[in-house]
């Protein structure tokens, strides 16, 4: 004789109300609230291209820094001339960034800070110049390549992402600059290169972020191509190929793959508190 069947309470989304159900039981009503691609933002090819140009701009900044290192390394240009041009450019950039909001008191304080940094940099440049003497030049160049890649990966391109880290990006660029400075002929050359690195990687992003435009990017690419043409055609073609990959292929692939995006949202997600403006 069969045992009488016992009726179970309807399943509820409450842990203490489902004692009659197995631990791995999934009720059909559990997925009724499932949604896909909630608040999904899709990007047009123009928006994808515009975002890619941010990376191209920073690649051009890194390329310009390496061009300056090459000229110092080959002694095609004097260190004092580079220092003077960099100092003038920094002062002009400061006034452009400050605009009409510039204040004499703040300018004096910033000038004192910059002077102190230059003095300490000049004092420690002999130490930094000999810091990696025991390491081969090939190893130094390889290390520099990888840390500059880290700089580009963690750089702040204006996108809120967990990968962005201004500290890691700046430290990687400065570490690469110290490595390259140790290959130069004198401590003065090392000091000038580190000063250029501070301008390009510490101060430059603020000005570029304010003045950024496609015209600025085109100007940066043109300047880099002009100097790379006199250094190496292979490096020039590599630079152009990298920019073409970043600005053309990557945006095209990104837009094409958007249709495959499938974010699942449901009752298992964490609660999100939204603030409502009082009327």
pLDDT tens-digit readout, 44-77: 888 888 889 999 999 999 999 999 999 999 989 8
Q: What is the pLDDT of residue 160?
A: 77
pLDDT tens string 108-127: 888 888 889 899 889 988 88
Contact between 125 and 198 under an 8 Å Cβ cutoff? The reply is: no
Residues 6+ apart with CB under 8 A from 48: 250, 251, 252, 254, 255
Task: Give CA separation, 237 vs 67, 131, 137, in Å.
Answer: 15, 34, 24
Residue 279 has pLDDT above 50, yes or no: no
Q: How confident is the model at residue 159 (pLDDT cuts 50, 70, 90)?
A: confident
Residue 4 has pLDDT above 60, yes or no: no
Query: Which of the two residues, 159 and 142, has the higher pLDDT score?
Result: 142
Is residue 54, in this structure, part of any structural domain at all?
Answer: yes
Is residue 155, in this structure, part of any structural domain at all?
Answer: yes
Residues 6+ apart with CB under 8 A from 129: 181, 182, 184, 186, 187, 189, 190
Rounded Cα–Cα distance for residues 192 and 82 (Å): 7
pTM of the entire structure? 0.80
Q: What is the pLDDT of residue 21?
A: 67
Q: How confident is the model at residue 270 (pLDDT cuts 50, 70, 90)?
A: low
Residue 30 has pLDDT above 70, yes or no: no
Mean pLDDT across 173-181: 92
Q: What is the pLDDT of residue 44?
A: 86
The least confident of 120-134, 177-191, 226-240, 255-269 is 255-269
Question: Domains in the chain: how many in total?
Answer: 1
Mean pLDDT across 210-229: 92
Is residue 19, in this structure, part of any structural domain at all?
Answer: no
Rounded Cα–Cα distance for residues 250 and 261 (Å): 16
Residue 5 has pLDDT above 60, yes or no: no
Q: What is the maximal distance between C-alpha atoms in the chain?
A: 104
Q: How confident is the model at residue 1 (pLDDT cuts 50, 70, 90)?
A: very low
Q: What is the pLDDT of residue 3?
A: 45
Is residue 32, in this structure, part of any structural domain at all?
Answer: no
Helix intervals (H) in the chain? 45-73, 79-98, 104-129, 137-154, 166-181, 187-197, 204-211, 214-231, 233-244, 250-257
Mean pLDDT of the chain: 85
CB atoms within 10 A of CB 166: 11
Is residue 64, in this structure, part of any structural domain at all?
Answer: yes
Q: Using the 8-state DSSP alphabet, how is residue 248 labeled?
A: I
Is residue 4, in this structure, part of any structural domain at all?
Answer: no
Contact between 72 and 184 under an 8 Å Cβ cutoff? The reply is: yes
Which burial class, exposed, middle or buried, applies to 118 when counting CB atoms under 10 A from its CB (0-12, 13-18, 19+)?
middle
Q: How confident is the model at residue 197 (pLDDT cuts 50, 70, 90)?
A: very high
Supply the range of the domain harboring residue 62: 45-259
Residue 204, both tokens = 């430059």
pLDDT tens string 10-26: 766 666 666 666 666 66
In terms of phi and psi (left: phi > 0; alpha: psi -120 to 50; beta: otherwise), the region of 182 is: alpha
Q: What is the pLDDT of residue 61?
A: 95
């Amino acid at each position: 004789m069969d045992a009488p069947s016992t009726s179970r309470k309807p399943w509820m989304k409450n842990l203490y109300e489902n004692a009659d159900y197995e631990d791995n039981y999934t009720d059909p009503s559990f997925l009724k609230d499932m949604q896909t691609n909630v608040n999904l933002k899709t990007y047009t090819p123009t928006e994808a291209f515009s975002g890619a140009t941010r990376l191209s701009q920073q690649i051009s900044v890194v390329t310009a820094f390496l061009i300056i290192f090459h000229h110092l390394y080959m002694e095609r240009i004097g260190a004092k001339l580079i220092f003077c041009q960099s100092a003038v450019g920094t002062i002009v950039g400061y006034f452009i960034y400050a605009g009409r909001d510039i204040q004499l008191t703040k300018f004096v304080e910033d000038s004192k800070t910059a002077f102190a940094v230059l003095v300490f940099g000049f004092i420690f440049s002999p130490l930094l110049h000999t810091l990696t003497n025991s390491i081969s030049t090939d190893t130094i160049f390889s290390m520099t390549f990888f840390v500059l890649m880290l700089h580009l990966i963690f750089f702040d391109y204006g996108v809120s992402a967990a990968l962005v880290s201004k500290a890691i990006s700046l430290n990687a660029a400065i570490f690469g600059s110290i490595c390259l400075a140790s290959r130069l002929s004198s401590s003065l050359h090392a000091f000038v290169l580190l000063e250029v690195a501070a301008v390009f990687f510490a101060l430059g992003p603020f000005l570029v972020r304010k003045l950024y435009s496609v015209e600025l990017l085109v100007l940066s690419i043109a300047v880099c191509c002009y100097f790379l043409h006199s250094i190496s055609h292979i490096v020039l073609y590599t630079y152009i190929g990298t920019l073409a990959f970043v600005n053309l292929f990557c945006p095209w692939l990104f837009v094409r793959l958007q249709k495959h995006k499938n974010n699942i949202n449901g009752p298992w997600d964490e609660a999100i508190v939204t603030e409502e403006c009082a009327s």
